Amino acid sequence: MAALDDFAFLSGKIYVGGKYVASRASERFDVIDPATEDKLGSIADCPDDEVDHAIDVANDARGVWMAMDARSRAVILHDIASALRQGSRPFAECLTREEGKPFKESTDEVSWCATAIDYYAELARHETGRLAGATVPGQFHFSVKEPLGTIVIILPFNYPLVLLCWEAAAALAGGNSVIIKPHEQTSLTTLKFMEVFAGLPAGLLQVVTGGARVGQRLIASPKTHGVAYTGSVAVGQAVARTCAESFKPSLIEASGNDPFIVMPSAPLDMAVRGAAFAAYLNCGQVCTSAERFYVHEDIHDAFVEGLVAEARKLRIGNGLGAVDLGPLATSRQRDRFEGLIARARQQGAKVETGGGRPAALNRGWFVEPTVLSGVTPDMEILNEEPFGPVAPICKVKSFDEAITLANRSRFGLGANLYSLDMDEAFRAVREIESGILWVNAPLLDNDALPFGGRKLSGSGRQLGPEGLAQFQNTKFVMIDPKASNQDFWWFPYSKAESFEPAKS
């Protein structure tokens, strides 16, 4: 019952100035357990003055943090990562109760938080600028990295902790303060997660809760200096427009619709297992889920048969039990997903397995892992992000056709290929229009390499040196230690350098 006790304590609170305080909000949102439909607690829809106060506190706190030397900041961040490794269970339990994913996946998510924090703790000690050869004798030319200021992070429900750490760790390591606006579904877990950051200066990392109005006020404030947003295309575009008005830097991750290509050279058993993981991880609620399957006609039928068998093995239920798939996070998400499946059927897709709700579960927002065959490129199911556990399979005649269809999308986040043909692998590297490519290794990340997309999948990058640079300004510095004479450059310009008309 520890998590439920935590939710009771955290309901209606925000995290400002290094402590939990009760919001004065007159309106609250209920938080519902997606596996049981029980009420877990409620979150405050913070009034404008509380949001503004948090911004002022953040701007005061970052002066203390910026004044620290890089090693001291790194030690504090490493201590946070160590604390996460030693006590991940309470955060994982809260996350499973709020979001629904299996406890194993929640535990994994917390562990990924620790690796990201450790990575940026060290990277920020090295990525401080660069020295360049001077263009004038005796001078010293270099660049320095400086924090943007106060960073706003708007989080989704599907990976609220790891995305928080990918972005907040980079922002903090770069010398910034951070204000988090979590998704309404996972705000209580995010508040609970602040316990591990107690070693930071008070006010450096804060959480304010609420709906769209709260996020809009944070983004539009002239006292915030950078924004990281993960969510829908429409909201991402609105965030980018608001930031553009003041040229405020923004990092936007706005959905995906990732292709998964399977060619005859692929080991079929591995391709099938990889496909099941890529399609059904976190009940399909992953921005980089495989959502468009292009399978060569020579192996199409065997692949469909194998994937159906894998889907039917998956155990569905409450994420706190021995399961592989939990529920979708919200009833609204289930309604949307079921609508997509229904329209796919109407358009001619064949349901090979799944397509409904598990008969044994009459409470919670559960759906069955689904395999669709007979899918054609024009169907809605291949052109929208389902954000649910479905694998729509389209038969292709060649690798060229697969590449063409893979690129025929408004999105460009990730892409997958299963093939042992190295020519096909390197063609995929060159030709697939995506920010990420997995060849025979779906959905893995690397803290040291960038994560992000193209087209309507967003702009900017998380992770890697690029993720740190998102939250830094670069200043070019030129120093002449002797203030030497620069007559070669200064006034008055010599007569020899003046324009003379050509002689006729």
pLDDT in tens, 4-38: 999 999 999 999 999 999 999 999 999 999 999 99
Please name the residue that has the structure tokens 């920020």: 124
Would the CA dihedral through 190, 196, 200, 201 be positive or negative? positive
13-24 exposure pattern, b = at least 16 Cβ within 10 A, e = fewer: bbbbbbebeebe
Q: Kindly state the percentage of the chain with pLDDT values over 70.
A: 100
Catalytic residue among 50, 184, 253, 352: 253
Q: Report in angstroms the alpha-carbon separations of 112 from 32, 109, 126, 165.
A: 26, 5, 22, 9
> How many CB atoms sit inside 10 A of residue 230's CB?
27
Confidence band, pLDDT 50/70/90 cuts, at residue 294: very high
* Nearest alpha-carbon partner for 166 in 123, 219, 222: 123
pLDDT at 255 over 60: yes
Distance CA 227, CA 59 (A): 15
Please name the residue that has the structure tokens 């608001």: 242
* Nearest alpha-carbon partner for 34 in 388, 285, 338, 364: 364
Catalytic residue among 287, 291, 352, 385: 287
Q: What are phi and psi of 285, to 5 degrees?
A: -95, 65
| SS3 at position 452 | coil
| The pLDDT of residue 504 | 73
pLDDT in tens, 384-403: 999 999 999 999 999 999 99
With a CB cutoff of 8 Å and minimum separation 6, the contacts of 246 are 222
Distance CA 237, CA 457 (A): 11
Rounded to the nearest integer, the mean pLDDT of the chain is 97
pLDDT in tens, 440-487: 999 999 999 999 999 999 999 999 999 999 999 999 999 999 999 998
Would the CA dihedral through 163, 164, 168, 169 be positive or negative? negative
Distance CA 172, CA 76 (A): 11
497 catalytically annotated: no
195 catalytically annotated: no
| The pLDDT of residue 2 | 84
Structure tokens at 452: 């992000």
| The pLDDT of residue 487 | 87
* Nearest alpha-carbon partner for 200 in 22, 72, 14, 71: 72
Q: Kindly state the percentage of the chain with pLDDT values over 90.
A: 97
| The pLDDT of residue 1 | 55
pLDDT in tens, 31-88: 999 999 999 999 999 999 999 999 999 999 999 999 999 999 999 999 999 999 999 9
What would the mean pLDDT of 156-180 be, rounded to a whole number?
Answer: 98
